[in-house]
Amino acid sequence: MSTQLSIPHEPPAPSLLKEQKPSSSEKQPRILIGDDQAHVLEALDLLLRPADYQLTMVRSSALLLECFASGEFDAILLDLNYTRDTTSGTEGLGLIAAIRSHDTHIPVIVMTAYANIELAVEAMRRGANDFIQKPWDNSRLITILRNQVELYRAVRRTQWLEAENRILRAEGAPDFIANAPAMLPVLELVSRIGPSGANVLITGEHGTGKEVVAQTLHRLSQRAQRTLVAVNTGALSEGTFESEIFGHIKGAFTDARNDRIGRFELAHQSTLFLDEIANIPPRQQAKLLRVLETGELERVGSSTTRKVDVRILSATNADLHTEAAAGRFRPDLLFRLNTVEIRLPALRERREDIPALAAHFLAIYATRYRKQLTGFDSAALTLMLSHEWPGNVRELDHTMERATLMARSTRIEVADLGLQPARISSQNLDDLSLEAVESVLIQKALSRAQGNVTHAAEALGLSRGALYRRMEKYGL
């Protein structure tokens, strides 16, 4: 519990992700309180501290708005009057309108010593959720706060689930399997940035799913009705780069037998995905920068300037900041590309997603190759959870295709995977989450017990019911 009577002269900067996903661990509600009288703040502190509220207290309307803009709160409790001998409530009503212009959901509870029905009605009309008269009834005030906070958190959970549904279950959307804690920041950023139209730089190791993120960002944008245009810039030679990206006219060079539309023009009013962006030669970087700055280009061999409206999504496994510092990548181009940067974790950083990803790929290949497969035996799943996956999700995808072709029974076995078994060393353990380690140990115990849950539970020192609950948790 922390209490402060005013905010510092330099309040913390607002977070890019102000609406964090509500968590079951959020137990201490954060309340912003505004009142010009010190004894009122002291009384509220004495009342709410034992109720386990985290309080931020200010004594002016300006400080309250400043604090609201720079922090995260579950409710606001504010006085309607901040000037001595003023009873009109004008300041407080203005505060409500200002708060509602930025957040339509956060609970606002107003209080005043000069309560009347007209002022209460006006406060509610401006967006207040409830009204407290001074001196207040302690039990009523705490009840109102508790109910409003619970309702607000429920609304936030619903908003998160709706955003998650847009990403994970939109019709025609690419398969985006992301349940591991390491992927939650990615989901949050994709949900927030997708509709914005901002340029996005997607970084991560080879095979982490950068193109899937790009497709999802496009589907969430206002440009989704048009086709995403993708180009692997790393596969373009310096001689063909301009023709592929900007197009050319007939006769521009020896093999230019017809006019050709470049990728930028194809992506007009849509999204252009530039993969392997770090591999663009320096001379071409300058031409790409010009298009990003002006929205104008000329086809190779043409003097006609064409205007394009394109959103740029780019991806790389390189550290562009290091490349820029070394002079291999233009800093001004980097600034244009990474309005927002989304880093994808390696598969070894999100092992909790391995079973779901593996099952997803297995279903695809079982259908493609007409194989009757029902899942994995425990030893095979244990091996997949402990494998380092240097090729990330792409390697897992290829492994599932091989396993489907090699499977001799209805369940994938270790031999089908083609992976080298590895003991869980201390280094492996460092990379595993607590849940992943527990899942591996349970699978090993089940394997040694030949699937006998009672014997496996005894070996693990668990009751049969406790083991079943863990098996259900990990989908075993």
pLDDT at 24: 37
Reply yes or no on whether the pLDDT at 238 is more than 90: no
pLDDT at 282: 86
Q: Where in the chain is the domain with CATH 1.10.8.60?
A: 348-473
Reply yes or no on whether the pLDDT at 233 is more than 50: yes
User: Mind listing the pLDDT tens digit for each residue in 11-66?
Assistant: 333 332 333 343 434 568 899 999 888 889 999 999 998 888 999 999 888 888 88
More confident residue, 475 or 231: 231
| Segment 333-346 mean pLDDT | 93
pLDDT at 33: 93
CATH of 30-160, one of 3.40.50.1100, 3.40.50.2300, 3.30.530.20, 3.20.20.150: 3.40.50.2300
φ/ψ of 460, rounded to 5, equals -90, -5
User: Mind listing the pLDDT tens digit for each residue in 153-165?
Assistant: 887 777 656 555 5
Quote the CA–CA distance of 259 and 250 in Å, as a whole number.
5
| Segment 240-258 mean pLDDT | 82
CATH of 348-473, one of 3.90.1150.10, 1.10.8.60, 3.40.50.620, 3.65.10.10: 1.10.8.60
Quote the CA–CA distance of 364 and 209 in Å, as a whole number.
17
Q: Which residue has the tokens 């025609």?
A: 172
Q: Where in the chain is the domain with CATH 3.40.50.300?
A: 181-345
φ/ψ of 256, rounded to 5, equals -85, 80
Reply yes or no on whether the pLDDT at 405 is more than 70: yes
User: Mind listing the pLDDT tens digit for each residue in 60-90?
Assistant: 888 888 888 777 789 999 888 776 656 677 7
Share of the chain above pLDDT 70, in %: 82
Whether the predicted model's global pTM rises above the 0.85 cut: no
Neighbours of 345 (CB within 10 A): 20
User: Mind listing the pLDDT tens digit for each residue in 279-338?
Assistant: 888 888 999 999 999 999 988 888 878 889 999 999 999 899 999 999 999 999 999 998
Mean pLDDT over each residue of the chain, to the nearest integer: 81
Quote the CA–CA distance of 252 and 158 in Å, as a whole number.
56
Quote the CA–CA distance of 145 and 65 in Å, as a whole number.
20
Output the CA torsion sign for 94, 95, 96, 98: positive
Neighbours of 451 (CB within 10 A): 11
Share of the chain above pLDDT 90, in %: 33
pLDDT at 430: 59
> In whole angstroms, how far apart are CA 360 and each of 163, 189, 240, 400, 453?
22, 24, 38, 9, 26
Quote the CA–CA distance of 82 and 68 in Å, as a whole number.
17
Quote the CA–CA distance of 339 and 201 in Å, as a whole number.
8
Output the CA torsion sign for 345, 346, 351, 352: positive
Reply yes or no on whether the pLDDT at 256 is more than 70: yes
pLDDT at 167: 47
pLDDT at 377: 87
pLDDT at 258: 79
Quote the CA–CA distance of 198 and 341 in Å, as a whole number.
10
Q: Does domain 181-345 have CATH number 3.40.190.10?
A: no
Confidence bin at 181 (pLDDT 50/70/90): confident
Reply yes or no on whether the pLDDT at 227 is more than 80: yes
| Segment 356-361 mean pLDDT | 92
Long-range contacts, stretch 393-396, CB < 8 angstroms, 24+ apart: 393/207, 393/208, 393/209, 393/347, 393/357, 394/206, 394/207, 395/207, 395/347, 396/347, 396/354, 396/357, 396/358, 396/361
Q: Where in the chain is the domain with CATH 3.40.50.2300?
A: 30-160
Which DSSP symbol is given to 13? P
User: Mind listing the pLDDT tens digit for each residue in 195-212?
Assistant: 988 999 999 998 999 999
User: Mind listing the pLDDT tens digit for each residue in 114-135?
Assistant: 556 677 778 888 888 888 888 8
With the CA atoms of 260, 264, 268 and 270 taken in that order, what torsion angle do they form, in degrees rounded to the nearest 10?
130
